[in-house]
């Protein structure tokens, strides 16, 4: 039996595609990029994304091309991508940021026209649908993360259409896995339990502050240090996961570990509880969508019922100060993708977006709220007198006047 096949079968039952188990979504994405893109290929992606994903794209030996995004949800705005860019990209990578769906129907259509692969990053979007169809079934391949939805702090999947491709990817994966270590498996199993104990004992604030003070956190800021000279010299070895490992492993050192039965068994138990988790997320999204801070992208989808988002993007002024004060209410909000990747990494490492303003605005004003903590977060923001931010009226386009219209928020499927 292939490694992780029981977990893969659980995911296949959920989305109806052939699935490959991976220890993380980042490894799944690396495999997808290596399988569908030749070295040097140009990949269109949103700059409002985890920096780890930028490093995965670089590790695969590819050039990340930053797309203009929707100011409402941070996902690629296909209509704002200049025709000259469309003609010069070799693949499209979605984000489905916080679980809000990318404009997948449009992107799929464009990719089909151009004969290039659509690669879906569905790490945030287990349970999100567009027109009744699950995110992760639109592209040639999709990556999922169990760390996000079942708090497993390990686990991911690649989903493809046929068994032959699945087997091919299993072999590629096996080549990249590092050997199992019992100590690391124990840590992976215990970490989520420790985290939920800290939460239920109301110790989030003291534990977080102590970790900050003792410099035990891997990131001092929203973005990790780029270490530009070292990153530039790693390019000589690309494609190579090993050369980029110092960046790719941040927040999840076991991202390529061949976890044993202990970790996988725990993930099976957690996955069996996924539907309950998604229902609780829907309830939290429903509560937060009704607040003044909710992005209009959320309200517009209310007709289909609330989606089970990973995080709810709330749009607020003074976001950074609010994040600090939320810690006093026992809430540590991660997954802030500020600044956008083109501002963070610069033109040496990425091709900048032709229209960076919407990404900058969205990245600077978004407070990603965990829907499982909806009541606590809404209460804390009320006490802190958080004020709602709305994007400025778009300035007239400055590059190609025929292609810069910003599409309105996509109505959400559930």
Ligand X SMILES: Cc1ncc(COP(=O)(O)O)c(C=O)c1O
Which residues contribute to the site for ligand X (CB under 6 A)? 24-26, 49-50, 52-53, 95, 121, 123-124, 145, 147, 156, 252, 255
Between 25 and 41, whose beta carbon lies closer to ligand X?
25
Between 291 and 295, whose beta carbon lies closer to ligand X?
295
Between 253 and 375, whose beta carbon lies closer to ligand X?
253
Cβ atoms within 10 A of the Cβ of 206, count?
12
Residue 237 is classified by DSSP as G
Tokens in use for 255? 């991202």
The full DSSP string for 12-66 is: HHHHSSEEEEES-HHHHHHHHHHHHS-TT-EEEE-SSS-HHHHHHHHHTT-EEEE
Give burial (CB, 10 Å; 0-12/13-18/19+) of 412: buried
Minimum distance from residue 22 beta carbon to ligand X (Å): 8
Minimum distance from residue 101 beta carbon to ligand X (Å): 13
Closest of 288, 350, 285 to residue 49, by C-alpha: 350
Cβ atoms within 10 A of the Cβ of 111, count?
23
Between 26 and 63, whose beta carbon lies closer to ligand X?
26
Between 75 and 234, whose beta carbon lies closer to ligand X?
75
* Distances from the Cα of 60 to the Cα of 44, 142, 226, 361, angstroms: 14, 16, 17, 29
Between 252 and 315, whose beta carbon lies closer to ligand X?
252
CB 364 within 8 A of CB 73: no
Minimum distance from residue 26 beta carbon to ligand X (Å): 3
Alpha-helical regions (H) of 214-273 = 228-234, 245-248, 261-272
Between 49 and 406, whose beta carbon lies closer to ligand X?
49
Minimum distance from residue 405 beta carbon to ligand X (Å): 26
Minimum distance from residue 292 beta carbon to ligand X (Å): 26
CB 257 within 8 A of CB 180: yes
Angle, vertex CA 181, rays to CA 178 and CA 182, nearest 5: 155
Minimum distance from residue 156 beta carbon to ligand X (Å): 5
Minimum distance from residue 84 beta carbon to ligand X (Å): 27
Between CA 251 and CA 43 the distance in angstroms is 24
Between 50 and 355, whose beta carbon lies closer to ligand X?
50
Residue 405 is classified by DSSP as P
Minimum distance from residue 259 beta carbon to ligand X (Å): 13
Minimum distance from residue 229 beta carbon to ligand X (Å): 26
Between 72 and 337, whose beta carbon lies closer to ligand X?
337
Through-space distance between the first and last CA atoms of the chain, rounded to whole angstroms: 34
């Amino acid at each position: 039996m292939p490694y992780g096949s029981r977990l893969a079968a659980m995911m296949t039952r959920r989305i109806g595609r052939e699935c490959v188990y991976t220890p993380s979504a980042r490894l799944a994405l690396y495999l997808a990029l290596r399988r569908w893109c030749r070295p040097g290929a140009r990949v269109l992606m949103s700059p409002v994304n985890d920096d780890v994903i930028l490093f995965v794209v670089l590790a695969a030996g590819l050039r990340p091309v930053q797309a203009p995004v929707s100011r409402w949800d941070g996902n690629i705005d296909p209509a704002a991508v200049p025709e000259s860019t469309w003609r010069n990209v070799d693949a499209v990578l979605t984000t489905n940021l916080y679980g809000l769906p990318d404009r997948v129907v449009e992107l799929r259509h464009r990719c089909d026209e151009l004969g290039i692969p659509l690669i879906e990053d569905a790490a945030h979007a287990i349970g999100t649908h567009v027109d009744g169809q699950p995110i992760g079934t639109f592209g040639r391949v999709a990556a999922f993360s169990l760390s996000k939805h079942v708090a497993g702090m390990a686990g991911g999947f690649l989903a493809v259409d046929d068994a032959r491709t699945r087997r091919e990817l299993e072999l590629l994966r096996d080549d990249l896995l590092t050997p199992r270590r019992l100590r690391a498996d124990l840590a992976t199993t215990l970490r989520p339990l420790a985290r939920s104990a800290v939460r239920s004992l109301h110790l989030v604030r003291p534990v977080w502050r102590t970790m900050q003070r003792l410099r035990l956190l891997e990131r001092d800021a929203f973005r990790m240090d780029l270490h530009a000279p070292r990153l530039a010299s790693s390019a000589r070895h690309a494609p190579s996961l090993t050369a980029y490992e110092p960046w790719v492993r941040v927040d999840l050192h076991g991202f390529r570990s061949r976890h044993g039965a202990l970790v996988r068994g725990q993930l099976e138990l957690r996955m069996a509880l996924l539907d309950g988790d998604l229902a609780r997320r829907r309830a939290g999204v429903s509560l937060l969508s009704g607040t003044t801070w909710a992005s209009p992208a959320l309200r517009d989808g209310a007709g289909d019922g609330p989606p089970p988002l990973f995080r709810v993007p709330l749009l607020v002024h003074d976001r950074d100060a609010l994040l600090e004060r939320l810690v006093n209410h026992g809430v540590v909000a991660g997954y802030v993708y500020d600044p956008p990747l083109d501002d963070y990494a610069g033109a040496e490492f990425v091709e900048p977006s032709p229209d960076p303003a919407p990404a900058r605005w969205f990245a600077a004003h978004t407070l990603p709220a965990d829907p499982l903590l909806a009541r606590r977060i809404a209460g804390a923001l009320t006490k802190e007198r958080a004020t709602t931010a709305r994007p400025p009226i778009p300035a007239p386009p400055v590059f190609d006047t025929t292609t810069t219209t910003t599409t309105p928020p996509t109505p959400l499927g559930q």
